Structure 1
């Protein structure tokens, strides 16, 4: 009983600590990366603003040949470019994926491509264009596209640009005959892309404007520039980061199942919870206000949306949505109560996208640095482990890890214990300052490593196996 009690107290001490977010460089050399996603396997696909999609492997290497190169089709000045990528839920059988880019005329294009049947690392260059949406200005293009748990493709559109939504697009539902597709600006669109006849999509019957010519694709209104949205892959909740005008950056959350009555996120009537320009606006009671927001202060200027953490490697990350800001490079988390916590700055990156791998672990990319980082919780060691001269590396580990001690504090025995307290591995070691342990027999997850020293003292730390 004493052993169990002591172990329980030790566990409480470990998990009472707050997480420490650290960025671990995973791959470098990208040219303006703006999206990271996966196709249901271990690869990551990195979208470069100039028109290339590159494959990033689990060992951090990047394929020399791009998965797709459509740079000749794209205008990439300012906020324009190849901005979004989404793989069809049935990608393994139909090979379809979809992109969002601004063409050489500056208009938004949603197009379908397919993978080469003989090489899974190369895409066919023939496209089927589903939508072309007229853009009046060069900024506020939105860009994210994602599949929801309902199997439909969601498309986030900015308000068309300039500043203050001068044309009132975000609240507008009246079609301009000269530019009919501009009614989609400032909206979230939802379409079913499983049609085999032009325009190669249909409108879900649950869309709020279903049956209304020219409006059926619209799911929600009142967005300014939704720079990244995502779905919680476990429960289908929708998270949208919407860039503010001058004062407030906002995070919107819509629980699954999404309402089919038409969501209005408030812009240009409101910026976050604050009044912006309510001329001609519907009552505030009809609008959906942010789940969380933060002020443009301390260098913040433009929110970058991320993901609700659904991985298993870092328990401290669970039940939190991750996002950041382009200007201050601080990673932020918001919990279920809407409380935001903020890290110090990882400056020099200009973070514009997060990524989620097939296991729900998170990555982040800097458009300026061209670096893809893995987001990890570095609060792995108990204080006495490090202060007594021990270190464990790499952590997270894949095939092995090494424990290094000082010349006056040598390990004689190393134990690996799972989080239930079960002893999985023990090894008597020599008085060598460094001892390497293979981890081939361990599954992915978190473990405790206990070191017994020459004087009989035990020191413990956490180990993550990837």
Structure 2
């Protein structure tokens, strides 16, 4: 079922085209989703705050048996619970994945688990190994996001410890792991249970060795751009300003300014050095102007389906239910509110397509751009005919590359058919007779490794 929520973005000077964002219901029935990630294949793994990780298949179905249940070892409610999940880059061979949760004492725990030997859709619940435990002085501002960076190290976002206004000064304290972005080496077993990358900024000097960056209040989601590896951090503000920070992958030791600054505005500069010592946000927005209160970080779109979204960073806000987009000039445009959603997390699948979920509705949506103009969306690398089609479609090579795979998706992004070709032929024909009448997206993967997209009508 398609949820009709079509909004036209306001036309800002930074955009030479109008954007149309459509949310299509992909799956439902989740309770307080906090994370959506993939493990290098077509599945998505949906994390619930209460302690469950569920397997979401490419057809939108959810496995009846959870991938993992850690509900008995965590504290849950408010900003506590199961908050993060990251699969090891070599998960396909070693079966390792990592979770971030608050234990029964309310402290942050980073733990490693393994997939079951008998079933790829179930983890071994007895395989948990705690790598790191961090005391939390208050119940809120636990951060929670974990990601493997392009360098193979595990990054961990830590809030400032909670309460309000950072009463303990953790954001500017380089000797605490709170209020910081951490980076550890989970593959080096010379120093159990993890090692410190040698080029972390405070190795061999004053400061906690695990810190990669600091001056963060409560980074609620960060991600790496799949194209250039830039690190994007969405940092929740205090009372007035929400931050979107960006750094190049090798920039270490950045101070993002909290509690001295909230965004670019002074917050509490008592004992703080000059403003030039801080990294200003790449983009920011105010509560007064947008009705926002808490940014939810997303991703730079790098999928192949929607060329109009290429290179834009998508984010949301829990209070105004809007999706925002940031372009390369740090300018933001917004949708109108998607009422009743209260977005808590984004997700990215193995193909770079984006999803979003809400903590109240329990629904998970595919993000689509309905503006698929023939000049930007179609490609002349192949000829696709007949189009409209009835029983079969032929893909004919128009250039140097031939067809390796053809995949058909519906407009919600659900995969319906997939065909692989190994004959290196100039043309290939496959059946679409099982598809009902409608409009579809045909994704053609060439033997050159590139993806080409076509609108396909079936009658």
Aligning the two structures, in what range does the TM-score lie when normalised by the shorter sequence?
0.7 to 0.9
- TM-score by structure 1 length? 0.79
The list of structure 1 runs, each at least 4 consecutive aligned residues, that deviate by more than 4 angstroms after superposition, is 435-442
Give secondary structure in 2 for the equivalent of 1:184: coil
Give secondary structure in 2 for the equivalent of 1:285: helix
- The answer to whether 1:308 aligns with 2:309 is no
Find the counterpart in structure 2 of residue 103 from structure 1.
103
1:340-375 CA distance string (max 9 Å, x none): 010011111110100000000000000111011000
Instruction: Return the alpha-carbon distance in structure 2 between the equivalents of residues 164 and 128 of structure 1.
Output: 34
- 8 A Cα contact 1:322 1:334, kept in partner: yes
Alignment match of 1:246 (pick from 231, 235, 239): 239
Q: 1:381 to 1:131 in 2, by over 3 A?
A: same
Give secondary structure in 2 for the equivalent of 1:345: coil
Give secondary structure in 2 for the equivalent of 1:155: strand
- The answer to whether 1:295 aligns with 2:286 is yes
Q: 1:315 to 1:83 in 2, by over 3 A?
A: same
Q: 1:206 to 1:198 in 2, by over 3 A?
A: closer
- The answer to whether 1:370 aligns with 2:362 is yes
Q: 1:273 to 1:60 in 2, by over 3 A?
A: same
- The answer to whether 1:225 aligns with 2:218 is yes
- The answer to whether 1:420 aligns with 2:380 is yes
Instruction: Return the alpha-carbon distance in structure 2 between the equivalents of residues 51 and 214 of structure 1.
Output: 33
- The answer to whether 1:142 aligns with 2:143 is yes
Structure 1: any 5+ residue segments left out of the alignment?
Answer: 1-14, 175-182, 383-416, 430-434, 447-460
Per the TM alignment, residue 420 of structure 1 is displaced from its structure 2 partner at its CA by: 2.4
Per the TM alignment, residue 283 of structure 1 is displaced from its structure 2 partner at its CA by: 1.6
- 8 A Cα contact 2:384 2:394, kept in partner: no
- 8 A Cα contact 1:28 1:370, kept in partner: yes
- How many positions carry a matched residue from both structures? 389
Give secondary structure in 2 for the equivalent of 1:127: strand
Give secondary structure in 1 for the equivalent of 2:122: strand
- The answer to whether 1:342 aligns with 2:334 is yes
Which structure is larger by alpha-carbon Rg, 1 or 2?
1
Find the counterpart in structure 2 of residue 323 from structure 1.
315
Per the TM alignment, residue 290 of structure 1 is displaced from its structure 2 partner at its CA by: 0.2
Per the TM alignment, residue 17 of structure 1 is displaced from its structure 2 partner at its CA by: 4.6
Per the TM alignment, residue 213 of structure 1 is displaced from its structure 2 partner at its CA by: 7.9
Moved more, 347-356 or 279-288: 279-288
Per the TM alignment, residue 203 of structure 1 is displaced from its structure 2 partner at its CA by: 0.3
Per the TM alignment, residue 44 of structure 1 is displaced from its structure 2 partner at its CA by: 0.1
When the two chains are superposed, the root-mean-square deviation of aligned CA atoms in Å is 2.4
Give secondary structure in 2 for the equivalent of 1:307: strand
Moved more, 205-214 or 370-379: 205-214
Structure 2: any 5+ residue segments left out of the alignment?
Answer: 1-14, 396-404, 410-437, 444-459
Aligned pairs for 1:449-464 (under 5 A) are: 464=441
1:445-466 CA distance string (max 9 Å, x none): 99xxxxxxxxxxxxxx996335
Per the TM alignment, residue 80 of structure 1 is displaced from its structure 2 partner at its CA by: 0.3
- 8 A Cα contact 1:381 1:462, kept in partner: no
- TM-score by structure 2 length? 0.80
- 8 A Cα contact 2:385 2:394, kept in partner: no
- 8 A Cα contact 1:112 1:127, kept in partner: yes
